[in-house]
Copies of this chain bind each other. A is one copy, B any other.
Amino acid sequence: MSSVSDGARRYARAQANAERFLGELFEFLRIPSLSGDPAHAADVRRAAEWLAGNMRRLGLERVEIMETAGHPVVYGEWLGAGPDRPTVLVYGHYDVVPAALEDGWDTPPFEPVIKNGRIYARGATDDKGQLFIHIKALESYLKTAEAAPVNVKFLIEGEEEVSSPNLKPFIEAHLDLLKADVCVISDSSMPSMDKPAITHSLRGMCYIEVEVHGPKEDLHSGFFGGAVHNPALALVEILGALYNPDHTIAVPGFYDDVVPLTPAEREMIARNELSEAQLKRITGVPAAWGDASYTLRERVSARPTLDINGLWSGWSGPGPKTIIPAKAGAKLSSRLVANQTPEKIFKLLKARIEALAPPTVRVEVRLLTSGYPALIPFDLPEMQAAVRAYERGWGATPTFVRGGGSIPIVADIYALMRIPVVMMGYGLDDDGLHAPNESYSVEMFQRGIETAIVYLEELARLERQA
């Protein structure tokens, strides 16, 4: 059976095009678009402009950099398939998390290089490389058939890594502009190249900062040690009390709204096993950890967590400094699952921490960012179309998985636009996103484009059958 996608796939596979696609991606990756660092605001905008330029060149009818209260959204649309054809909304993000050579990178994080078939750069897999797949898939249609089988809209934001504070209002204000039948997102991963996966669930987020204040300034530990509650110790005591000995979270009410896993769900999760050996190989930890009532895969995807993301107090430079620090702080984040809400979890965490705070110090708890968890049924036709796209475009049947990470906007799109969100992740679990030496498989990038091409066709067929 020949189809319009065959020509587009040949175009994407042609060596000259494949090399040019990579060259363009490298240009994109060289821009340090750190959304969380005000010093990089101009770089974030530069990334938006670069992306808009690339989209304009491939023949989109309308490309705009649209302002928000924070970093801009890049919007693009090709509606040439006509109003009787379905419209797919591609969501992605062009911003990245911080990266510095001294964090342990082997090569500078914003100078992409290919080693052993992998692209090393911050943002290579999260999400510049993955979002670029959809742009190049549309290009492949437009440069061969001069049309794609469905209408395509792009909504590429610049604030995903700071939990998208302005995207929900943006969507609410532009529901007509963004109107679509299905949303596709590539910002997740598969366990291995031969096991593609569609993510139908994501964890939410409640990210807080705790600061403990003791003396008005650092004290000489010889003069006051023994009579002053060391703020670092007070912090240690508070944080320690947030966990039970069985590694569950000791915050009253924390688990109250968690939807229990059914035996069927647990069986599906078990198909995508995460063994202790795998976990140790990927992460380098000496042993697994966590709530023994759940498998490792359940712990990292279907159960809520509380992690310490940062800790600071006093002197961390070389040599000794004999002080009682004036203050101590921590960043803590909870990954949430359906039906927990970040508002309630923040309230519970804050109340618990304040209840634990002794009268010898003063404790502050602040919410930094939050996001809802998402749980999308996997029997929807748009989900099943994605299964066929993988079978034809990738060459393997995908499994449905729960993602452990958070793309807060997924829950928002699902709720606000009332359309299915299909997460076709073209990353690998060990791409090292958010870590030093983040990397992305060149083969993944190329096969991803082909699968994305086929998915547009499968969506068109689906609607024709409907």
Contacts and interface: CB of A to CB of B under 8 A. Distances in A.
A226 B97 contact: no
Interface in A209-225: 214-225
Contact of A288 (B36, B228, B285, B406): B228
B226 A299 contact: yes
Contact of A307 (B104, B230, B237, B405): B230
Given A225-B404, A288-B227, A308 B232 contact: yes
Please tell me the size bucket of the interface on A: 35 or more
Given A216-B283, A222-B335, A313-B310, A434 B322 contact: yes
B435 A217 contact: yes
A369 interface: yes
Contact of A321 (B243, B310, B322): B310
Given A104-B217, A232-B311, A289-B360, A226 B305 contact: yes
A318 B36 contact: yes
Contacts of A299: 226-227
Interface string A317-340: 111111111101111010100000
B290 A323 contact: no
Contacts of A286: 359-362
Contacts of A240: 236-237, 240
Given A316-B331, A320-B36, A321-B310, A224 B300 contact: yes
A220 B433 contact: yes
A429 interface: yes
Contact of A331 (B216, B237, B320, B429): B320
Nearest to A239: B236
A44 interface: no
A307 to B, nearest CB: 5
Given A219-B283, A288-B360, A335 B274 contact: no
Nearest to A296: B227
Contacts of A92: none
Q: Which 9 A-B pairs have the closest CB atoms?
A: A222-B405, A216-B284, A229-B289, A36-B319, A226-B299, A232-B308, A310-B314, A312-B316, A311-B313
Interface of A: 36-38, 97-98, 103-104, 162-163, 189, 203, 205, 207, 214-230, 232-233, 235-237, 239-240, 243, 274, 279, 283-291, 296, 299-300, 303-305, 307-326, 328-331, 333, 335, 359-362, 368-369, 403-406, 429, 432-437
26 contacts: A97-B321, A162-B320, A205-B322, A207-B320, A214-B285, A215-B283, A215-B285, A221-B434, A222-B404, A223-B433, A224-B300, A225-B307, A227-B279, A227-B299, A229-B287, A232-B330, A233-B239, A237-B240, A240-B240, A286-B360, A287-B360, A308-B313, A309-B322, A311-B314, A312-B313, A321-B331
